[in-house]
Structure 1
Amino acid sequence: MYKNTLVEIQKFIGLLLLIFIAVSCGLTQDKSASTQVFSDPIAPIGDSSLTIPAAVRPILDVWMRDTYVTYGPDGYYYLTGTTATPGRVFPGQVHCWDYNDGLYLWRSRDLKNWESRGVIWSFDKDAAPWQKKGTPVKPGEKSPNGDPLDSLYRAVWAPELHYIKSQKKWLLIACLNGNNGSFVLESSSGKPEGPYKNIKGNETKAIFDNIDLSFFEDTDGEVYLIGHNHYIAKMKKDLSDIAEPFRAFKETPYESEPYIEGVWLDKHAGKYQLLQTIWSVSHADSTYSYIRDNKKSDKLYSYDVVIAESDHIYGPYGPRYPAILQGGHNNLFKDENGNWWSTTFFNPRGVMGTRFPITCRPAIVPLKWKKDKLMPDAKVADDFYSTLNIK
């Protein structure tokens, strides 16, 4: 009888131990979930120190979205972007939601006077069969702005021109509309004007299956592809293809992630800077945030650049902070004196369409670092644009 009682006691103690472990695990999980960190979604609308300065205006009278500028080793600044086919007759406003003819390039010695270098890549002369085919437009389809569309989706968007210092090569990167992905081109002449050919990784198919692909060359010479909107992959040493599958950055997200685009990666003071573009939304209670409640009262308001920082290229990246209000889908570049700039294009949607008399034109915004955070420099903008004369 004593033996049976002892066994029962042991079973009871074992049961209590199992219950204690289960409860402890549950508490641990709850604590972990409750301490998850999110980025602050509040959009600081009305903050003049973060908004594109009033002095900023087009530096070139060419219809363009997704403006891109870089400073080359030859002392020239190079400019490209998403353009519409010159001479095309539109039933409504100029656009390139359906098709365009290729990629164009301009150069300048002073960021103010720009010289056209013409078409540097075209569908007709340079595209591979998979890039040429396009996707049919369904009858009656319209663009996000309500523009009538033609019969085919076959436009090249968001080009970036990069000089890879470690390889002494010019690479051109862009994406296709119609869900046809992104690709990388290499200049066969060694010059920024090309001609350009597909690298091996996208001779027969897209190297990345989404839009807004970007480049980043690290200080150690390693080169990475940065993919819309949260992805990264290291390239092979010869830049012929990716050396690893795309993986997601480790980020500090918003509690409810919105649609994000226009990704850009840079480095400052030894830390990686991840730039992303997000629409702020105006809510019925007169507040603004980067989280959409999906209510009819929510309206797209401002096309903003937010930044997150990390010690490591793959992350984790800390909380995002708003850096350039109304200046989304940009890239950063340094001028010949090491000063920081951002591109912009005056998005016609949201508040920008009411604020700017001319939209979809290339422009640049001087920047400054203040307490390790990036923001527009209104004083330098005033000085720069006071002497700008568009020809």
Structure 2
Amino acid sequence: MTTKDNAVPRRSLLAGAAGLGAAAALPTTTAQAAPASTPHAGPTRRRHPSNWPDPEPYGVADTRLDLWPREDNSFVLPLELRPRDKERGTVWMRDTYVNCFVVDGRPLYVATGTTRVPGLAAAAPWNDGIFIWTSRSLKGPWRLADTTRVRPGAEKGKVWSPEFVGENRPGRTVVAPWQEYWYDDRFGKRGEVWASEVHYFKGTWYIVACMGDHSLKVGSFVLVSEGGVEGPYRLVEGNLEKPFGDSFIGGPNFIEPGAYHHIDGGLYSEGDDAWLVLHNDLYAKFRDDMEDIVTTTNLPKFRQTPYTPEPYLEGAYVFQHGGKYYLVHAAWDRTSVNAYGSTRNAYDTGAAGRVQYQYDAIVAVSDHFEGPYSERWTLGVGAGHNNIFRDHRGDLWATFFRNPAAGYWSDPARVADAAVAGVVKLEWTGPADNRLYVKRRG
């Protein structure tokens, strides 16, 4: 999910007018780490904002408006529109991922995420693959990756898709059998890819992504480029037969037994080593050749401080800042009525009486990659399933997308402003507290 190298000053946002309009709808009351030798790689603030006391008991969500992406701290990326995007005027995107890398001595920003095909309201039961946008500046212009030399005549910016199965050759697999489209009587065409990330590690481009719930097998995989960020990409050896990790019972009831593996895969790198991060508590080191993970079954777990009870979490992501490791998850803030008749907001299970409110980014900190990690806190309200990156000036940002599936952003009055490629500026409370928050007011 993140890296300590190959990024602009230190890893699991923005378009002018569109972002401002959505922010105005709020109530009125979310990469990579740079090498040690990079200028600005260390903390850039001498005076740090204060740390907030945590709501009690542990597991209560912090809903203060200071933790929302707002017009004064965030924007929606002005991504180049594809033909399918022109009616909406913005790219429909979930699981937004943005990062900044140094390539040939210059900063290169990349953006990707989960998108949908024309005619479908969501990115399921099928979508048509992974798109990448690039820019030399966070504010743009953002252009679709130039894939015209890789696939002349094909849709620009699409770097991988189950459609590319015809490119398979002996010794070179682009699409594995378990990633191909398939059909059934319930859903018709099936097979979608989600939560893609782009990484530049030791001079090579990688994509980590997940085949979604309607696929033949559900789980995470890695693609490696044989060229630039535009590809062409092929599948690594460790995913020729299945996703990473073990299969287990999970996901919706329509998933075939044995088909569900660990989702939301990401990459964390430090020096010449890289690790796979899987939801919501697993990790594994990659082999030196990056073709597979060293341990393929019974993967080790991060040592965390869970809630009681522990809810369903998604989007596990690790990055390093200020000598500490941060583990981010996406969690639904669910509302319920407490014994006094007032509203309780908490990272709770989906038990009766719990209503999904916001899809938040929660985070914990540790001295070590594997943990133990501290108690979690709310990094950003509605900023779940994100990543954190440092721009070429050394400032920290997180992505967000405003989940349209349920909760606040699914309201008919707001859903038109949901599913966006958003970024929000972060602030660090310094080495004494080591907290990260969405940039607060004041």
Same fold, TM exceeding 0.5?
A: yes
Unaligned runs of 5+ in 2: 1-55, 79-89, 146-156, 166-173, 246-260
Higher relative helix content: 1
CA distance in 1, matches of 2:393, 2:57: 34
CA distance in 2, matches of 1:377, 1:205: 41
Match of residue 338 from structure 1: 394
Whether the aligned pair in 1 keeps the contact of 2:280 and 2:316 (CA below 8 Å) is yes
1:43 is aligned to 2:58? no
Match of residue 214 from structure 1: 266
Structure 1 range deviating more: 179-188 or 124-133: 124-133
User: Over the residues paired in the alignment, what is the CA RMSD in angstroms?
Assistant: 2.0
Higher relative contact order (CA 8 A, sep 6+): 2
CA distance in 2, matches of 1:313, 1:155: 31
In the alignment, residue 180 of structure 1 is paired with which amino acid? V
Residue by residue over 1:134-191, the C-alpha shift from the partner in whole angstroms, topping out at 9 and shown as x without a partner, is 464563xxxxxxxxxx413300100000011xx22111011001352110010011x1
Larger radius of gyration: 1
Match of residue 115 from structure 1: 143
1:250 is aligned to 2:303? yes
In the alignment, residue 119 of structure 2 is paired with which amino acid? V
In the alignment, residue 268 of structure 2 is paired with which amino acid? F
In the alignment, residue 329 of structure 2 is paired with which amino acid? Q
1:102 is aligned to 2:158? no
Out of 338, 357, 366, which is 1:310 matched to? Answer: 366
CA distance in 2, matches of 1:375, 1:367: 6
1:128 is aligned to 2:175? yes
CA distance in 2, matches of 1:336, 1:82: 25
In the alignment, residue 262 of structure 2 is paired with which amino acid? N
Q: Within 5 Å, give how 1:76-95 maps onto structure 2.
A: 76-85=108-117, 88-90=118-120, 94-95=121-122
Whether the aligned pair in 2 keeps the contact of 1:280 and 1:304 (CA below 8 Å) is yes
Match of residue 151 from structure 1: 188
1:72 is aligned to 2:101? yes
Deviation for aligned residue 1:76: 1.6
Residue by residue over 1:227-276, the C-alpha shift from the partner in whole angstroms, topping out at 9 and shown as x without a partner, is 01111001111111101242111111111110000111001111110001
Deviation for aligned residue 1:322: 1.0
Structure 1 range deviating more: 258-267 or 60-69: 60-69
In the alignment, residue 306 of structure 1 is paired with which amino acid? I
Whether the aligned pair in 1 keeps the contact of 2:162 and 2:180 (CA below 8 Å) is no
CA distance in 2, matches of 1:39, 1:199: 44
How high is the sequence identity, in percent, across the aligned residues?
32
Out of 351, 360, 383, which is 1:294 matched to? Answer: 351
Deviation for aligned residue 1:312: 1.6
Deviation for aligned residue 1:133: 3.3
Q: Within 5 Å, give how 1:1-391 maps onto structure 2.
A: 40-45=58-63, 47-55=64-72, 56-60=74-78, 61-74=90-103, 75-85=107-117, 88-90=118-120, 94-112=121-139, 113-117=141-145, 118-126=157-165, 127-134=174-181, 136=183, 139=186, 150-164=187-201, 167-177=202-212, 178=214, 179-189=217-227, 191-208=228-245, 209-218=261-270, 220-245=271-296, 246-285=299-338, 286-292=343-349, 294-295=351-352, 297-348=353-404, 349-354=406-411, 357-370=416-429, 371-378=433-440
CA distance in 2, matches of 1:106, 1:237: 28
TM-score using structure 2 length: 0.69
TM-score using structure 1 length: 0.78
Aligned residues: 322
